[in-house]
Amino acid sequence: METGKIPLLGDPLPQMKVLTTHGPKTIPDDYKGKWLVLFSHPGDFTPVCTTEFYAFAKRNDEFKSLNAELLGLSVDQVFAHIKWVEWIKENLHVEVPFPIIADSLGTVANTLGMIHPSKGSETTRAVFIIDPNGIIRIMLYYPQEIGRNIDEILRSLRALQMNDKFKVSLPHNWPNNELIGDKGIVPPPKNIAEIEQRKKDYEGYDWWFTYKELK
């Protein structure tokens, strides 16, 4: 990857040393062998971000069950993160169990394109899902005014893992797709000779739209 270029899907996450509420870390090396969900928020002690952190914290065990770790980030300093986490525990009665990067110099945010100039110096609501080999598999960006759907991030993570395991594509709203339910879409045939065999081996609407059970 070129120096100064924002990484794209399929690129390795650049190695960075960061300060977090759980101490210094090196990403993605410290998460090797696990999925990493790295997400940024515009600022501590803001209402939309607070609702998101509450939701992430409540679903932390679901992420862990998928061999995934959560890692938050904003350009606030570490003492602000610590105080905000304390406030959430005292007032909303949920503990934020995952670390939050204090990116006060904007190093991570600028490297990953999390700062959009039209919105000032705060980070956008970005989500990066990084696989156990340190490769960026999903990138999502939301405006500051719109909170994320944490269940959709979980769904996307599960879909990536099924893609890796079964080498299939996943349909709209998998595993609750209106046409094929929780099945996976078989990759298209590579040549004409495979077309007739495709019809015999799989269910489908046509040879280019076949699917199979994921088990």
Which among 27, 49, 112, 130 is annotated as catalytic?
Answer: 49
pLDDT of residue 116: 80
Tokens of 26: 């090196």
**Statement to judge: residues 182 and 126 lie in one domain:** no
For residue 61, the number of C-alpha atoms closer than 13 Å in the C-beta half-sphere is 3
Task: Establish whether the linkage from the previous residue to 175 is cis, with ω within 30° of 0.
Answer: yes
Q: Which two tokens stand for residue 80?
A: 């602000």
What distance in Å separates the CA atoms of residue 154 and residue 42, rounded to the nearest whole number?
21
The whole-model pTM stands at 0.94
User: Based on the domain organization, do 144 and 175 belong to the same domain?
Assistant: no
Number of neighbouring beta carbons within 10 Å of residue 179: 11
Residues of the chain below pLDDT 50:
none
Residue 204 domain boundaries: 167-215
Residue 215 included in any domain: yes
Query: Within a domain: residue 182?
Result: yes
Active-site annotation holds for 123? no
Q: In terms of DSSP bridges, do strands 100-102 and 68-74 run parallel, antiparallel, or are they unpaired?
A: parallel
What pLDDT, on the 0 to 100 scale, is given for residue 162? 98
Between CA 72 and CA 163, with CA 111 as vertex, the angle to 5 degrees is 65
Which of 117, 148, 179 terminates a domain? The answer is 148
Residues 35 and 118 reside in one and the same domain: yes
Amino acid at 183: K
The predicted pLDDT at position 4 comes to 61
In a domain, 24, yes or no: yes
Whose tokens are 């269940």? That residue is 151
Joined together, the tokens standing for residue 185 give 């879409």
**Pair of tokens at residue 148:** 């994320």
Residues 26 and 127 in one domain: yes
Task: Name the domain count of the chain.
Answer: 2
Question: Looking at residue 30, which CATH number applies to its domain?
Answer: 3.40.30.10
